[in-house]
Amino acid sequence: MRPLTLGFIFLTVIAFAHQEPIESLNHVLVYPMEPGTSRRSFGGSPMVYSNTQNEKQPSPWCSVAVLCRRSFDPICGYDDNFGYAKFDDICHMLQVNCYWKYNFALVPSCNPVL
């Protein structure tokens, strides 16, 4: 029984010795781009909005963004804090909502309609 236990420990040590820590994978990971263009309806430059109360929790958009299939059909979205933005497709908008914790909603046009 002891040789089997020692063999298991030896294989475990070898396996963990050759794994890269997660921190070193940052240069390999692909993060979603921020929106291509932005147009705020009330002037000024886009401001970064940080939701501090839910900073540690994942965005509710993440589960939908993971399952989304890319179509590369350009769309426009609107967020109360960011304004209007153009996206590659709806999946890109969901990824931005997930990663940057925005709350873009699909709108028919990138121009405000009164």
Q: What is the pLDDT along the chain (114 residues), one digit of tens a residue?
A: 566 666 656 656 555 555 555 455 455 555 666 666 555 555 555 555 454 446 778 888 899 999 999 999 999 999 988 889 999 999 999 999 998 889 999 999 888 876
Asked if 71 and 59 count as a contact pair (C-beta separation under 8 A), the reply is no
Angstrom distance (rounded) from CA 61 to CA 94: 6
pTM reported for the whole predicted model = 0.55
Query: Does any domain span residue 18?
Result: no
Query: Does any domain span residue 112?
Result: no
Query: Does any domain span residue 69?
Result: yes
Kind of pairing between the strands at 75-79 and 83-87: antiparallel
Angstrom distance (rounded) from CA 31 to CA 91: 13
Number of structural domains found in the chain: 1
What are the angstrom distances between the C-alpha of 100 and each of 6, 7, 9, 108?
Answer: 47, 46, 42, 22
Query: Does any domain span residue 25?
Result: no
Query: Does any domain span residue 42?
Result: yes
- Expressed as residue numbers, the domain containing 86 is 31-107
